[in-house]
Amino acid sequence: MRKTIVSAFTVALLCFSVSASAQETRKHPIRVGFGMDVGVPSGLSLGVVLHPKVDWVSAQLSLTHNVLNFGGRVALKLDPLAVFANNPIAPFVDVQGGAAAQGTIPGHSDLPSLGYDYLNLYGGLRLGKPNGFHWNFEVGPTYMHVTTDNFQSVLGNKGQGLVVGNPTVNGWVTPTFVTGFEVVWP
Amino acid sequence: MKTNKTRTGGLLIALALLVSACVSATVDEPNVCSSSDLGTVPGAPVSGVAVPPQQFSTSQDLSEVLGKIGDVADNASARLTQLSLSSDNDLSWVSQVDVNVKGDSDDLPDRFLGTYRAAGSAVGNNLALDIKMDDASVQKYLNHPVTLTFTVSGTTTTQTNKLSSTLCAGASGDFSKSL
């Protein structure tokens, strides 16, 4: 009997907590924040984070740099456990699409340049509350379309009379990763 | 101690993920082209007179560059993308071009490679030849230095023609590697 009463009271408390958190989540305006991360293949990234009305879905638009050149990245994250606003740890799914402009290794402009488009299909872990500062670890497969330029320079003096086109590479790299933080203003 | 072990374990797992990355991709080289001079057809006093076919030979070697694709890819394949005859003047006087290819070993004998037949319309200074050899045989020959022999038939022209040939090939292959 006591156990039943305690169990019922606990369930009621949980329901109230979820309801209150859900109400808090439903009511908030569009939240904006920023994020910074590092990973492969995106490189170093600095971006704007947008939580449209709810915390369990967010979008990020980022400027990236992969040592060779600048690029851009768009991400859409689904974090269903973010409905519990005080939940400090949760898994999430993140789909990122990006591109890096053609670039050469610094100090070696005579070598071929490299650029790529990519699609990351990540699963991740959020450490920290969804509506404040939190750290993300993400890992998963990446599809890449890599283009080159100035490949003729590989031939050097050996290539007299020979003209070489710029090869491309298309395929999967598994796993790749990104890790970094986001700060969303309440 | 427990915290240090957990951090060390996490770092080791992260490093293991990084060093155990797998790549599965297709590499494509769209064009490797080699051009060479064939010779000169002198101008004639009168144009339009049929002349016996003339032969021009040249050596071409795309094998080293195409071999690099084979070094990287597991099942590299090569294909001819262009075989052409060019001049510094108009080539409308040409009625027919036949090209034979011969490799640098006994198992690559002299074989018919491609042809051009004039269609009666203006052609400019570049003739694209139709490839008549199957892809598998083309690939066998492209993996070695080859000699191309052009047999050019037509009529006389008052202009001097400096002839050159261009041979282009593309290559592609798949590779799967653990990094």
DSSP A94-142: EEEEEEEEEE--TT-TTSPEEEEEEEEEEEEEEES-TTSEEEEEEEEEE
The interface pTM score, or ipTM, of the predicted complex is 0.75
| Contact call for A166 and B23, based on CB within 8 A | no
Contacts of A174 in chain B (CB under 8 A): 21-22, 24
Q: Which of A144, A164, A174 sits opposite B22 (nearest CB)?
A: A174
pLDDT beyond 60 at B31: yes
| Contact call for B33 and A163, based on CB within 8 A | yes
Contacts of B24 in chain A (CB under 8 A): 171-172, 174
What is the model's pLDDT at position A159? 54
pLDDT band, very low/low/confident/very high, at A29 (cuts 50, 70, 90) = confident
Contacts of B18 in chain A (CB under 8 A): 177
| Contact call for A162 and B32, based on CB within 8 A | yes
Which DSSP symbol is given to B159? S
Residue-averaged pLDDT of chain B:
87
Query: How many Å lie between the alpha carbon of B147 and the closest alpha carbon of chain A?
Result: 15
What is the model's pLDDT at position B38? 94
Residue pairs spanning A and B at CB distance below 8 A: 64
Contacts of A175 in chain B (CB under 8 A): 17, 21
| Contact call for A161 and B36, based on CB within 8 A | yes
Task: For chain A, list residues whose CB is within 8 angstroms of any CB belonging to chain B.
Answer: 139, 144, 155, 161-177
Identify the three-state secondary structure at position B128: strand
B81 contacts: CB under 8 Å, gap ≥ 6: B30, B31, B168, B169, B170
| Contact call for A165 and B23, based on CB within 8 A | no
**Angle subtended at Cα A110 by Cα A104 and Cα A113, rounded to the nearest 5 degrees:** 30
DSSP H or E segment with residue B6: helix B2-19
| Contact call for B28 and A175, based on CB within 8 A | no
pLDDT band, very low/low/confident/very high, at A21 (cuts 50, 70, 90) = very low
What is the model's pLDDT at position B177? 86
Among A60-69, A85-94, B120-129, name the one with the lowest average pLDDT: B120-129
φ/ψ of residue A19, rounded to 5: -65, -45
CA distance A169 to A151: 13
Query: How many Å lie between the alpha carbon of A115 and the closest alpha carbon of chain B?
Result: 14
| Contact call for B35 and A170, based on CB within 8 A | no
pLDDT beyond 50 at A102: yes
| Cα atoms in the 13 Å half-sphere on the side-chain side of B131 | 15
Which DSSP symbol is given to A27? H
The residue ranking higher by pLDDT, A16 or A105, is A105
Percentage above 70 pLDDT, chain B: 89
What is the model's pLDDT at position B141? 94
The answer to whether the beta carbons of residues B126 and B46 sit under 8 Å apart is no
pLDDT in tens, B129-179: 999 999 899 999 998 999 999 999 999 999 999 999 999 999 999 988 887
The answer to whether the beta carbons of residues A166 and A154 sit under 8 Å apart is no
| Contact call for A166 and B30, based on CB within 8 A | yes
Percentage above 90 pLDDT, chain B: 65
CA distance B102 to B104: 7
pLDDT in tens, B56-88: 999 998 888 888 888 878 888 889 999 999 999
pTM of the shown model: 0.79
